[in-house]
Structure 1
């Protein structure tokens, strides 16, 4: 034909440059100038495409990649297939199938995730397996607020184990919310779980089990002991994991504690209260856990224990102080004075006031 040579597509093989190792890349153009890109890769960085930078800046692009590692930014790495499109003015959407990693740590496998990205906000919504448990995930990164990740599961024990939080919980309905701070270096997590069991109790609970409640023995063996609900507020600051408040209430025992764990030194410093609920079941109907007064208890009182764990996480020193108390001093045992003092000792004075 007359006129200048016009190329509508090309295929490239074995392309390697920093952050990319592409085995095959096919680029084609539509009549309106939009691009279509498809390829297979060992490693591909999609951050420039996501942020409307580089060769694709200002151009509408549809894309499809199958890759061992897809760099999505903000520490998120994908492994699998991603299909999507970007508008010429930036922003777009995609669907991903495969595994998600936080840097090199597996986060969720066999995931099906819908992604929306843009200059002011990013959204990721889908589901997959965490620790073998079906888990829903929703990630929102808004320009004007900290990024937040919400995970829900009806097998919370497996999900928490898969995330590396704890391996002592079985089953449970879980809601986990994490807010990322300081460019994802630090984050705060709130965990709420209901209808679960706890197994393999720490040494402090083992020491207290000599007082006899069957539910405490259940913590040590078999299927564990049942809890109706549990909550945890956790701050992660570099290697420091600060347990601002952990509480739970079950059929046999109620517990609340605060503390700190150092990932680098593998040391722990935890203090808390433990109440064997079986001592109360015939006296009152509901057991308030923190900051409330129990009323109607007879003068014989009930057993409560203060416990502490300190030292190497694999073999901490434990301290247990059981006491028979009457209602007049129960409030001080259950939280406000002793536990608040322990919280200030371990975590420092509160700055919330």
Structure 2
């Protein structure tokens, strides 16, 4: 038995000891050539020397063995020799086989001895951190260089609570200074490879508990992870989480998660992983339910960390993306392909919040109901705040694109598709401003409700031909739901508008429907619109024809009568060809009519005009309505007292006339010549001209025309007036001997 200086708690039994030495008496030196010790079937070879020197005894001892098991290492490691590494081995290494063991000891006088120990090991079972599972099947190298201890694993696995084994080849554990008495720092340099679930399961162990603190499951994602990191912690019985410092980086491949974004599958071929004691992050390119995305996910960790996490990146804008994310836009609204930037905030037990923005480059946007389109080559700006619940809700939507601006919110159905889109502020081109609702219908279409605002029909690019495309339009034949409108003002021309407008329309084959409104804020009218080549044809009716003319600023002295007018788009933009039919209206106190009747000296009719008014049982007219003028092509007005035909120009902005026509007094008798004259003219009539202000016109009458039957009256009628600026032609000037009602020539 041998137990020098009581270094061992139990006596060590050696099968045999062979010593080869040399002794030198002065100065004293003991040279140990070789000492061969057999211990439990293993051989240990030692050599060294002892000698005296100026500082006292000097010694050097080397030992080596080809093979030792763990029990031998523990029993041969003497008490007090590198005590802290010895204690770490005793407490954390449960099984191992050592090969190529080398030990060195050097000392001089009273100085602390230097020692070194290194060995390879196999079949090791090691606890490298008290909160982590043991490493099994470990193989590698152990070294102790005075106060620095290093264990390097060339092989080994750690079996996680979930997800299987993690390979730890390349992992090392280091105690930089074993001489530190309390809380000596320990450093683990980890190289690990395994399943994502296994890696997250290890990170979820105390004291880190990363996933529990984030309220996320350890099976958050499927895939393989390769990570390299460093873990530093004090070696003491009780370690607080804030005392642990770590950082890591790696890659995650073949990623798939149905948990990270609720109701969607996140997948990626490779993601970059990084983290430390304050944050964990994943980033890379992949897909969200098949939609191409880039993602940067980060989650704060630590005792005081918020459980919220965030994903930022870019996502494709395409019809597939709109359908997959159940944004609720009607079919055909989005075509083409673009990119948008997003920020997704994930809070446990709350629906994820998405912020989205894009310049819409490459995206083809269409709203066929209003003939609007943003081509892929143009840019715009789209901003959305979305709640990714079931159903999805767009809490804020803001769109700016050429010809369209809109702000509002959108709700969707639980089964997908649009429930309602409320746009509180919409501006379309230079022809529409207001508030609009889109209501989702069962067949995938949407009803449009314009609840306020103004609309200018002169500038609206509605298509009048089924399947055609006008302006920026996308074609009037696109499927559409009904359109209801409540507008403060609907502008028809520069001088004609409908206020308090209400209507219901369809866009199947072009805009068509019915409406009501107050003409220029005064007379109530109702109408019907139908598509025609070049625009929209309109039929307008009213129970007060006089009120219609007053409101339109055309004739301010009419009263009563039924009104029926049709407007058809002309070839010139913003102009309409129209026809009017009026029944039982009266003209009262009309200066132009009074001047005309005075000119032909029909006293009874003048009195009738200033009294109850002249009754016209039927009025018909064909005209061209422009933005600033009305061109009367052909018109007639007949009643018991008189008949009238007229054509010419009326300036809408200035109220000036340039008209010609024929007046036939006592039309009920004079109408016997109707077969040889224009409608509204009798056998005998007076040709006249009206010029100037409608309230104070200048009248020219040719009395000779009364001597010509209707069939010859064109000789005296003259050419019809033309639009201002065009040359005016007359067959002959009025006779010089006729005087006007103002005292001048007639």
TM-score by length of 2: 0.36
**SS of alignment partner, residue 484 of structure 2:** strand
Which stretch of structure 1 is more off in the superposition, 248-257 or 36-45? 36-45
Residue by residue over 1:167-200, the C-alpha shift from the partner in whole angstroms, topping out at 9 and shown as x without a partner, is 2211111110111124642211111101010123
Picking from 27, 30, 51, the partner of 2:413 is 30
Picking from 55, 59, 67, the partner of 2:452 is 67
* Residue number in structure 2 paired with 1:140: 530
Residue by residue over 1:275-328, the C-alpha shift from the partner in whole angstroms, topping out at 9 and shown as x without a partner, is 211xx65xx4855557439xxx9xxxx9742221234555443212335956xx
Contact 2:586 2:615 (8 Å CA) reproduced: yes
Q: CA deviation at 1:227?
A: 0.7
* Residue number in structure 1 paired with 2:577: 188
Residue by residue over 1:196-219, the C-alpha shift from the partner in whole angstroms, topping out at 9 and shown as x without a partner, is 101233446425337244223332
**SS of alignment partner, residue 581 of structure 2:** strand
Picking from 710, 720, 724, the partner of 1:331 is 710
Picking from 510, 514, 526, the partner of 1:125 is 514
Instruction: For 2:539 and 2:657, locate their aligned partners in 1 and report how far apart those are by CA, in whole Å.
Output: 27
Instruction: For 2:496 and 2:649, locate their aligned partners in 1 and report how far apart those are by CA, in whole Å.
Output: 25
Instruction: For 2:702 and 2:525, locate their aligned partners in 1 and report how far apart those are by CA, in whole Å.
Output: 40
Q: CA deviation at 1:148?
A: 0.8
Instruction: For 1:287 and 1:167, locate their aligned partners in 2 and report how far apart those are by CA, in whole Å.
Output: 31
> How many residue pairs get matched?
311
* Residue number in structure 1 paired with 2:690: 309
Instruction: For 1:290 and 1:188, locate their aligned partners in 2 and report how far apart those are by CA, in whole Å.
Output: 27
Q: 1:128 to 1:324 in 2, by over 3 A?
A: closer
Which stretch of structure 1 is more off in the superposition, 153-162 or 257-266? 257-266
Q: 1:184 to 1:317 in 2, by over 3 A?
A: same
Higher relative contact order (CA 8 A, sep 6+): 1
**SS of alignment partner, residue 91 of structure 1:** coil
Q: CA deviation at 1:151?
A: 0.5
* Residue number in structure 2 paired with 1:9: 393
Q: 1:203 to 1:174 in 2, by over 3 A?
A: closer
Instruction: For 2:612 and 2:629, locate their aligned partners in 1 and report how far apart those are by CA, in whole Å.
Output: 31
* Residue number in structure 2 paired with 1:81: none
Q: CA deviation at 1:268?
A: 3.2
Q: CA deviation at 1:123?
A: 0.5
Instruction: For 1:178 and 1:70, locate their aligned partners in 2 and report how far apart those are by CA, in whole Å.
Output: 18
**SS of alignment partner, residue 482 of structure 2:** strand
Q: CA deviation at 1:44?
A: 3.9
Q: 1:31 to 1:169 in 2, by over 3 A?
A: same
Contact 2:523 2:548 (8 Å CA) reproduced: yes
* Residue number in structure 1 paired with 2:700: 319
Q: 1:74 to 1:138 in 2, by over 3 A?
A: farther
* Residue number in structure 1 paired with 2:499: 109
**SS of alignment partner, residue 33 of structure 1:** coil
Q: CA deviation at 1:96?
A: 2.4
Residue by residue over 1:321-340, the C-alpha shift from the partner in whole angstroms, topping out at 9 and shown as x without a partner, is 335956xx32256x43323x
**SS of alignment partner, residue 338 of structure 1:** helix
Q: 1:92 to 1:226 in 2, by over 3 A?
A: same
**SS of alignment partner, residue 92 of structure 1:** coil
Query: Looking at CA atoms only, which structure, 1 or 2, has the larger radius of gyration?
Result: 2
Contact 2:450 2:486 (8 Å CA) reproduced: no
* Residue number in structure 2 paired with 1:343: 720
Within 5 Å, which residues of 2 pair with 1:223-238? 223-237=612-626
Q: Which runs of 5+ in 2 are unaligned?
A: 1-257, 264-387, 433-439, 463-477, 731-746
Q: 1:99 to 1:287 in 2, by over 3 A?
A: farther
Contact 2:450 2:485 (8 Å CA) reproduced: no
Q: CA deviation at 1:259?
A: 1.4
Q: CA deviation at 1:274?
A: 1.3
Question: Is residue 274 of structure 1 aligned with residue 657 of structure 2?
Answer: no
Q: 1:158 to 1:324 in 2, by over 3 A?
A: closer
* Residue number in structure 2 paired with 1:154: 543
Question: Is residue 292 of structure 1 aligned with residue 671 of structure 2?
Answer: no
Contact 1:179 1:187 (8 Å CA) reproduced: yes
Q: CA deviation at 1:270?
A: 1.5
Q: CA deviation at 1:136?
A: 1.9
Q: Which runs of 5+ in 1 are unaligned?
A: 49-55, 78-88
Contact 1:43 1:67 (8 Å CA) reproduced: no
Instruction: For 1:242 and 1:201, locate their aligned partners in 2 and report how far apart those are by CA, in whole Å.
Output: 20
Instruction: For 2:568 and 2:499, locate their aligned partners in 1 and report how far apart those are by CA, in whole Å.
Output: 22
